[in-house]
Structure 1
Amino acid sequence: MTEHIDVLIVGGGLSGIGAASRLKRELPGKTLVVLESRSAIGGTWDLFRYPGVRSDSDMYTLGYSFRPWTAPKAIADGDSIRQYIRDTVRDEGLESSIRLNHRVVRADWSSDTATWTVTAVKTGDAEYRSGDDAGSETVTFTCSFLSVCSGYYRYDEGYSPAIPGAEDFEGRLVHPQHWPEDLDHTGKRVVIIGSGATAVTLVPSLAKTAEQVTMLQRSPTYIAPVPARDHLADRLRGKLPEKLAYDAVRLKNIGFSMFTYQLSRRRPERMKAILRDSAIAKLPAGFPVDTHLAPTYEPWDQRLCAIPDGDLYRAISKGNAGIVTDRIDRITPTGIALASGDTLDADIIVTATGLNLLVLGGMELSVDGEPVDVSERLTYKGMMIAGVPNFSLTIGYTNASWTLKADLVAEYVVRLLKHLDRTGRQWVAPRAPAEVASGELGSLIDLQAGYVLRDVDRLPKQGESSPWRLHQNYLRDFALLRAGRITDDVRFGRRGERVGRAVERREDPLAHGGVSFVTVAGRSVRYRVTGSGAPILLLHGIGQSLDDWTEQHERLSARHTVYSVDLPGFGYSERRPGAATLAKLAGILPAFLDAVGVSGAIPVVGNSLGGAVAMTFAAQSPERVSALVLADSAGFGSEVALVLRLLAIRPLGRLLMRPDPKNSRRTVESVFYDKAFATDERVAHSFALAQRPAHGRTLLEVARDLGTIRGVREPWRRALLDRIARAGIPTMVVWGDHDHVLPFSHLAAAAEELPAAETHVFAKTGHMPQIERADEFAEVVEGFLGRAA
């Protein structure tokens, strides 16, 4: 017999119990059930039992908004958090609503009945492992709304990289996710592999009784000492009503966490200095802080590790704990051999190497018989999936307490359910507008941690702006989820009405051979590489993409390894923080070349804006540029097409940038002398780019950075050309004699500004000779590079 429930919650951890509590409080007439795959509630806080396990967020924000945290310690141990969840279940009367040992394996939506059919397997008392459902007893539920609060990592196994020699180790090899109850570390030599929150928690805890504890890290992590107790909470305790005191401390801590995050993102060098100074003050004199505590990434590219009252630093100062930064060569019978040639003796090795992602707890979804691949779907407000009705998922903050976001999600679900009841509708499903679906997409979890990057392709996507992007900002999300409209970009329906398509089809950014993505300075960058031989870099113009170089990839690849790239914010590359400028576009290139394995100086070819970017790159990093080919390049005169000058007028610029197929055709036709090159394929590609909000925003910002309504600004041109003239880099300037974007007269100006440069004219050619005169262009470039060499 199938049991029907109004709201089915998957997961009995901190967020699942919080969601159930809020539903019961605000919608007491609805039935609810919480399904938990394990034998106890608590989720993460019941699973992890390693020594010293604790929160890395303060309990005034990790706790529920409706249930004050009253214990003295702000950074709480795992037992205290587990008891807090159990007390919530008891006080909210949720015991009868919780079904333990029920693992959800699939959920199928039917528009005919406006219900989910949810299949679960009974897991027994043992820890459920993926694939254990064969032969297990199954249970079926139906529900009107499905809320998934199962987190995003696998409970049955942590991430353990294959390390040569592990099978020969004579001691104990353990992973913190499944800590053996019988493991005695007293008087033992312990090596902890890893540098994240688990590792920095284990070191001071084990060091209390172990002979020696060493944290072995491949690279450093940012570590921030925090008070174990909240001084404001201590002062207010007993002086104000419990709930009022809790809310005051909670508000203060939310503000402080947002401040430190914004400081990290906007003033990373300042935050690095604060963390470094704190470490120096708390560690022994002479401790190599810059070796062991200075990561190569920026603060909050990965989550900061909190250490209450600096316990890690105190353990190191006592002498039986330390940090080693090195790579592992292999595990030996008695310890670890390092790449440097050193060795670490060990009786116990702890692989605190992270988590394995598991989206939606591993369950399969379908809507009206069609499987849902969540990795291809957009998330709405960070908590629903495009095209999936009556469904929510809870993914907490990565830069603040998980529960802050979980609380907002639970409240929003209540708002949706009330709206459905009030309007007589049975379902709601997000539907992404075409411009969002074809815009800049990123992973739902925008964190550069290894456990995220390993499985980032499995995660749902998010767009560039609200409501299709999670901003990791509590105040913005509070306004969006608590007070924002619930009718934006969603469709409401009744029983029997089909949901329809989740998103419009969009252009495939990987359609060309050799196209891929690489992470540069924390941002995803699209590039293309073809051929073999000496490398060469090709840069596109304003509002364009690497697709402008398709013809030259085909021709230059015979003798070169040809790289082209979508400059940050253009095409399918993510934007860099802040407004886009010429300097920022060029500034990414050294790191990009490093990321794709290109060292030394190489020739750079730039068209239009790409020419100005190439010159800026050469001026900033002359040791990386061996030659310049500037094709119809910006920078040699103030005259420019009227439409580009109009972009400098803000209201008019936004109006001109609205996606329109007719405008896209006019734009494509304007760059060619021979209109036959303005093919439907090129127009469709131009329209696809125009629908990407990041692309249009970057175009406007760069246009305003370089020009005004009167034309291209003189100061930046003058300064850049002076530097290029002095640099002595072999340069060729080429132009189409019928260029209506940057006039042909600029070639004479270029010859005057750069008297040592070679020049070439393409007859009956527009703004893009690399396309319109592809064979001649390749021949001219090859000849020049041969002479320059």
Structure 2
Amino acid sequence: MAGQIIPIVMPKWGLEMREGTVQDWLVKEGKRIEVGEALVDVDTDKISNAVEAADAGLLRRIVAQSGETLPVKALLAVLADNDVSDAEIDAYIAAYEVPAADSDDEDAGPQFQYADVDGIRVRYAKRGPEHGTPVLFIHGFGGDLNNWLFNLDAVAEKHPVIALDLPGHGQSEAKLPGASIAALADFVLKFLRAADVNGPAHLVGHSMGGAIAIQMAAAAPGQVASLALVSPAGLDTAINSGYTDGFVQAQSRRELKPVLEQLFANPELVNRQMIDDMLKFKRMDGVEPLLAELGAALFANGRQSAVLADELEQFGKPVLVFWGKEDQVIPSTQANKAPSSAQVVLFDATGHMAMLEKASEVNAALQRHLAAG
């Protein structure tokens, strides 16, 4: 459309993001941008990621400079065709106001909700439409619902989304329903009922959360519409206990940093805030002994105690598996244990956290999987 000016703004990644710091621009003024093209790297207090173009057009003006920290929805750049004058662009930039924080979330309900499940208080988040088959995201050992910060809103465009903090993780209570995959799976099934999910749900599980999802499908197949698994535990015995034990035992930033770096193909993704957040979590009352108990039960001596490949083979509904070829926690060769009917996606230059490291590709494949399922 002649005369149209399209803003590129600071995205909101995840439920808690309030601002981001502009790093390096990956494109130059005067370039014609395609939808999905990476434009600029932004650093948040959780992780760095590239802002991708939601619209195609000519990049006429870069507004935000490297090193600037800006709130969500602040103007980063402007797309406009050559028939828009520089004066019009100047006027647009001068008049641009950052919308009030969360102004588009007023009708979305509270950011976080809490449920009591078997006497354990659980934090969770709901996003997306009210109707449709819900998608439940289950994080891994030592993680929380923020592990899905690049994925929840993308899936919530078309599907109801729920993400929880497992017992003893995130801001859920530091209590375990049992230190086994079976006990955790039973707990999450009860959580779904507490969250008013009475029909089947699509399950998306990462690492330990993947094993929990497989066990849920085996225990209650009628409650599970499909499975999407990111570097899942539960397919074979091997696991890097140097990571799991190291995570439990680390007491300082210096000790924890090299442990967390094992999660990513690019260790620079582990920033100071991520390390500080993890230390803060580990120092919460009761968390460290709980993690030690869980790690010893599930991953002792570099072996997974729950191997569920046969159960997954018998599931009989759509299964999607993602794995980073440089996964240092659970070997990507275990993807060979996925059912022959499963769709398996292997990523180059990617570690244990494909949903963060390859968010766009994971989201696109996940949306196709959910549409088919």
TM-score class normalised by the smaller sequence: 0.5 to 0.7
- 1:138-157 residue CA offsets vs partner (Å, 9 max, x unmatched): xxxxxxxxxxxxxxxxxxxx
Q: 1:531 aligns with which of 117, 128, 136?
A: 128
Amino acid at match of 2:201: I
Question: Quick one: distance in 2 between partners of 1:601 and 1:621?
Answer: 9
Q: Are the counterparts in 2 of residues 644 and 703 from structure 1 also a CA contact under 8 Å?
A: no
Equivalent AA in structure 2 for residue 599 of structure 1: N
Give the superposition deviation at 1:784.
Answer: 1.4
Matched, 1:568 2:200: no
The match for 2:301 among 709, 727, 732 is 709
Quote the offset at 1:575 in angstroms. Answer: 4.3
CA contact (8 A) 2:324 2:347 kept: yes
Q: 1:738, 1:764 within 8 Å by CA — same for their partners in 2?
A: yes
| Partner deviation per Cα, 1:63-107 (whole Å, 9 max, x = no partner) | xxxxxxxxxxxxxxxxxxxxxxxxxxxxxxxxxxxxxxxxxxxxx
Q: What are the superposed Cα offsets for residues 706-745 of structure 1, whole Å, 9 maximum, x if unpaired?
A: 23314223xx31xx32222223122111101111111121
- Does the 8 Å contact 2:179/2:298 carry over to 1? no
The equivalent residue for 1:684 is 276
Correspondence for 1:80 = none
Secondary structure of residue in 2 paired with 1:735: strand
1: CA distance, partners of 2:311 / 2:165? 25
SS at match of 1:745: helix
Structure 2 CA distance for partners of 1:656 and 1:779, relative to 1, 3 Å: closer
CA distance, structure 1, for counterparts of residue 170 and residue 255 of structure 2: 17
Query: Does residue 665 of the first structure (1) align with residue 226 of the second (2)?
Result: no
Counterpart of 1:732 (choices 309, 316, 320) is 320
Task: Report the TM-score, using the length of structure 2 for normalisation.
Answer: 0.66
> Taking structure 1 as reference, are residues 760 and 595 closer, same or farther at Cα in structure 2, changes over 3 Å only?
same
Residue in 2 that maps onto 1:637 = 236
Aligned to 2:332, the other structure's residue is in SS state: coil
1:525 positional shift: 0.3
Tell me how far 1:639 sits from its aligned partner.
2.1
- SS of the counterpart of 1:588? helix
Which of the two has higher C-alpha Rg?
A: 1
The alpha-carbon distance between structure 1 residues 674 and 658, as it changes in their structure 2 partners (threshold 3 A), is closer
Query: Which structure 1 segments of 5+ residues have no match?
Result: 1-512, 648-652
SS in 2 for 1:526: strand
Deviation per residue, 1:93-148 (Å, 9 max, x gap):
xxxxxxxxxxxxxxxxxxxxxxxxxxxxxxxxxxxxxxxxxxxxxxxxxxxxxxxx
One-letter identity of the residue aligned with 2:187: I
1:641-668 Cα distance to aligned partner (Å, 9 max, x none): 14147x3xxxxx8x95253222332232
Residue 549 of structure 1 and its aligned partner are, at CA, apart by 0.9
Q: Is the 8 A contact 2:256 2:275 kept in 1?
A: yes
1:542 equivalent to 2:130? Answer no
The answer as to whether partners of 2:177 and 2:184 remain within 8 angstroms in 1 is no
The partner residue of 1:755 within 340, 343, 358 is 340
Aligned pair in 2 of structure 1 residues 710, 541: CA closer, same or farther (>3 Å)? closer
For the residue of structure 2 that corresponds to 1:707, the secondary structure is: helix
Residue 731 of structure 1 contacts residue 756 of structure 1 at CA under 8 Å; is this kept in 2? yes
Which shows bigger deviation, 625-634 or 658-667? 658-667
> Which residue matches 2:70?
none
Contact 1:657 1:690 in 2 (8 A): no
- Residues of 2 paired with 1:578 and 1:538: CA distance? 19
**Counterpart check, 1:519 vs 2:116:** yes
The answer (yes or no) to whether the contact 1:611–1:633 under 8 Å persists in 2 is: yes
Aligned partner of 2:27 in structure 1 is: none
CA distances 1:269-297 after superposition (whole Å, capped 9, x unpaired)? xxxxxxxxxxxxxxxxxxxxxxxxxxxxx
Alignment: residue pair count:
263
Partner of 1:346: none
CA distance in 1, matches of 2:337, 2:223: 26
Answer yes or no: is the 8 Å Cα contact 2:239–2:330 preserved in 1. Answer: yes
Task: Give 1:780's match in structure 2, choosing from 360, 365, 370.
Answer: 365
Instruction: Tell me whether 1:766 sits opposite 2:317 in the alignment.
Output: no
The separation in 1 between residues aligned to 2:162 and 2:273, in whole angstroms, is 22
Q: Secondary structure at the match of 2:143?
A: coil
| Alpha-carbon contact 1:628-1:731 (below 8 Å) kept | yes
1:767 maps to amino acid: H
Tell me if the contact between 1:543 and 1:696 (Cα under 8 Å) persists in the aligned partners.
no
Q: Deviations over 1:345-366 (max 9, x none)?
A: xxxxxxxxxxxxxxxxxxxxxx
From 310, 313, 320, the equivalent of 1:722 is 310
Q: State whether residues 515 and 528 of structure 1, in contact with CA within 8 Å, keep that contact through their aligned partners in structure 2.
A: yes
Task: Decide whether aligned partners of structure 1 residues 769 and 615 sit closer, same or farther in structure 2, where only a CA change above 3 A counts.
Answer: same
Residues 607 and 526 of structure 1, relative CA distance in 2, 3 Å threshold? same
Give 1:635's aligned amino acid.
G
Structure 1 residues 639 and 678, CA gap change in structure 2 (3 angstroms): same
What secondary structure sits across from 1:606 in the alignment? strand
Residue 708 of structure 1 aligns to a residue whose secondary structure is helix
One-letter amino acid of the structure 2 residue matched with residue 525 of structure 1:
V
In structure 2, what is the Cα distance between the partners aligned to 1:668 and 1:767?
10
Match of 1:581 in 2: 180
Question: For the structure 1 residues 644 and 679, does the alpha-carbon distance in structure 2 shift closer, same or farther, using more than 3 Å as the test?
Answer: closer
Q: Which amino acid aligns with 1:761?
A: L
Counterpart position of 2:33? none
TM-score normalized with structure 1 length:
0.32
Q: Which has the higher contact order (CA 8 A, sep 6+)?
A: 2
Over the matched positions of the two proteins, sequence identity in percent amounts to 28
Q: Superposed, which structure 2 residues align to 1:214-293 within 5 Å?
A: none
SS for the counterpart of 2:279 is helix
- Provide the C-alpha distance between the structure 2 equivalents of 1:770 and 1:611, rounded to a whole number of angstroms: 13
* 1:608–1:631 Cα contact (<8 Å) kept: yes
CA contact (8 A) 1:658 1:690 kept: no
Q: Verify: 1:596 aligned to 2:188, yes or no.
A: no
Instruction: Classify the secondary structure of the residue corresponding to 1:600.
Output: coil
SS of the residue corresponding to residue 684 of structure 1 reads helix
Residue 51 of structure 2 is matched in structure 1 by: none
AA of the residue aligned to 1:760: V
Give the SS at the match of 1:629: strand
- Quick one: structure 1 residues 589 and 659, their matched pair in 2 at CA, closer, same or farther if it must change by over 3 Å? same
TM-aligned CA distance change 1:672 to 1:783, over 3 Å: same
Aligned to 2:158: 559
Q: Deviations 1:744-766 (Å, cap 9, x if unpaired)? A: 2111233xxx1121111122111
Q: Any residues of structure 2 matched to 1:386-465 within 5 Å, and which?
A: none
Q: Which amino acid in 1 is paired with 2:230?
A: A
Counterpart in 1 of 2:69?
none
Contact 1:579–1:701 (Cα < 8 Å) also in 2? no
2: distance between equivalents of 1:761 and 1:731?
A: 14
Encode CA deviations 1:429-484: one digit per residue, 9 max, x unaligned.
xxxxxxxxxxxxxxxxxxxxxxxxxxxxxxxxxxxxxxxxxxxxxxxxxxxxxxxx
* SS of alignment partner, residue 703 of structure 1: helix
